[in-house]
Structure formats: C-alpha cells, structure tokens
Amino acid sequence: MMKTSTQKTRRAFLKAGLSLATAIAATGWQRQVNSKMAEPVLGELRGRFIYDGTPPERKRLKVDKDVDCCGKYDIRDESLMVGPEQGLANVFVYVRTRGIPIPEGLADRWPKRVTLDNHECIFKPHCMAIWCPVQEYYIVNSDPIAQNVAFNPLGDLPANIILSPAPGNNTDAVWRFRRSQTEPVLIVCNYHPWESAYILPRDNPFFAISDSSGNFAIPNLPLGEWEFQIWQERVRQLDLPNAPRGRLVVQIKPGINDLGTIVVSPEHLKVVA
C-alpha cells in the first residue's frame, strides 16, 4: 500500500515534470515561431561593378545660361562615372519580376522621401530610385537662381516645375509618382539644358544604385528565384555576357548573396576610344 502510494507520488512528480518540460519546450517553440513570423528569413544581393578600361575624360558641358552663377562651376558629363579602383557608379540594379512579396512592416521602417537637390547648377544626386506608393519625391532648389525640373514618366502625370531662387519662399516641391516604371525616367531642366538626372519609380523597394566604388546592395529580399535588371544611362539595358539585355536570374538564399565583381568593358557601354 505504502509502495503503491510512493509509486503514485513518483508518477505524479514524473507527470508534472513531463508537463513542465512540454510546456517549456512548447513556449520555446512558440517563441521561435513568433520570432520567425516577425522577422522572416531574408536575403541580400550584393555586387560590385568595375570598369575595365581607362575612363574617357568627362566632357565639360556647355554652360551658357545664368553664367554669372553657373559659370564658376566645373560642370561635366555624368553619363560614365568611374570612381576609385575602377568602381563604376550610377548603375541601377532592380528586381524585374512582378508581384514580388514585400516583407510586412518594411514600409513603416523605410525613409519617407527621396530628395532631388538643384545644387551648384546640376541635379544632385544624378541617379535616384523611389518606392512610389511609400515615398514622396522632395524637390528642392539650393541655388540663387530659378530652376526647372521636368520629367515625363510613361502613363503617369508629366511634371514641369519651377522653383524660386534660394534662399526664399517657393524653393521646394513635393511630387508623388502614381505608377511603377520599367526603367528610369529622364529628368531635365528647361532653363539649363546641361542638367540631367534619372529617377526610377518602382512599386517595391528592391532596387539599388551602385556607389562611387561600384558597390551595390539590395537588402530585405524574400527568398526565391527573382529576375534582376541592370541598367545604365548610356546604353539603358546593360548587355553583359552573363546578363543578356542586362537581365539576370538569381536564386536568393538566406543572408548575403554576393555576385562578386561584375566587369563592364568600354564596348558594353559603347564608349568610343
């Protein structure tokens, strides 16, 4: 009887221990599941464009308007920007596949605007991309002369904006793109014909523009096989041996997906020696 009672007590302890272990395990698993739901496993696409050749001298542009202000700046062609150690800047890389899922909550963490500055008689930066439903396009003039910003995206409202000389009122404007574009849109200034820039409005945040070292990174990519577009203003779709018409399919795995060094020759960019 006594033995039975001890056995019962042991069994009760064992049961309690088992339930506790199960509960702890379940809580841990639940926590893991929760953390997975909050932060899904994502990938990042990286790479570096290098220019395989001696970059031609950047042509000095004809500055014949508002010369008092603009004539003092060394304004040069920006269509081929080669930085330190042959890094090729201003190459757009973006997901071409439609309907790519966007991680939940990303829009809340994303910067709310992209800025274009009219500074020292050129557009800065020269290349931009914008997640159009989430970000607004903030256009500002820092120059002491009036500036004009005009662009005509396909199937979207065309813009032709005047900004007053700075400092003063009416030196900024806010624009909203309504449609995603399949390639960057040219921005011009009707007052100063040498000024140009490009903006790529997209309906997702999966884009990058190579920096002065040629590096680019597209973070937050969902896992899977996605097609990417490589675009450069001289040739638009940048036709490369491993990316015909600038298109490249990449299987995005968790963490860093490094494309390594992508060599771009003068022939690829139609640079005449």
Partner 1 sequence: MRGYFFSSLLIAVGLLVICSCSRPPAFRLNTEGRDPGSISPTQHEALTTTLADFFGTPDQATTPRGVELNHDLLHLAAGPMGRDLERVERGLYRKHCANCHGVSGDGAGPFARLLNPYPRDFRKGVFKYTSTVMGAKPTNQDLEKIIRQGMPGTGMPSYKRLPDDDIKSLVEYVKYLSIRGETELYLVRLVLDENELLPLNRQAVLEDGVLPAAESWDLPQIEPDVWVVKPHRPDWDDQQLQAAIARGKELYREPRAQCITCHGPEGRGDGEQTDLYDIWNQAKKGITDQQTRELARHFALPIQKLRPRNFHSGIFHGGDTPEDIYLRIHIGIKGTPMPGAGPAPGIPGVLTPDEIWDLAYYVLSLAQKLPTHSAHEDSERK
Which residues of this chain interact with partner 1, rule CB under 8 A? 64-65, 136, 145-146, 148, 150, 152, 154-165, 169-170, 172-176, 178-179, 182-183, 190-191, 193, 237, 245
Tell me which long-range contacts 159-166 makes (C-beta under 8 A, separation of at least 24).
Answer: 160/190, 163/118, 163/139, 165/141, 166/141, 166/142
CB nearer partner 1, residue 44 or residue 156: 156
In the complex, the smallest distance separating the C-beta of residue 64 from partner 1, rounded to whole angstroms, is: 7
CB nearer partner 1, residue 50 or residue 149: 149
Phi, psi of 197 (to 5 degrees): -155, 170
What is the distance between the alpha carbons of residues 188 and 170, in angstroms, rounded to a whole number?
Answer: 19
Helix residue ranges per DSSP H, 39-165: 67-70, 106-109
In the complex, the smallest distance separating the C-beta of residue 42 from partner 1, rounded to whole angstroms, is: 26
In the complex, the smallest distance separating the C-beta of residue 159 from partner 1, rounded to whole angstroms, is: 6
CB nearer partner 1, residue 96 or residue 119: 96
CB nearer partner 1, residue 65 or residue 119: 65
In the complex, the smallest distance separating the C-beta of residue 212 from partner 1, rounded to whole angstroms, is: 25
The one-character DSSP state at 273 is -
CB nearer partner 1, residue 38 or residue 272: 272
In the complex, the smallest distance separating the C-beta of residue 189 from partner 1, rounded to whole angstroms, is: 10
In the complex, the smallest distance separating the C-beta of residue 221 from partner 1, rounded to whole angstroms, is: 21
The Cα-based distances of 80 to 109, 198, 224 in angstroms read 33, 13, 33
CB nearer partner 1, residue 162 or residue 217: 162
Instruction: Give per-residue burial for 171-193: e unless 16+ CB within 10 Å, then b.
Output: bbbebebeebbebbbebbbebbe
Pull the structure tokens for residue 201: 């409005």
Is 211:28 a contact under the CB 8 Å cutoff?
no
What is the distance between the alpha carbons of residues 130 and 181, in angstroms, rounded to a whole number?
Answer: 10
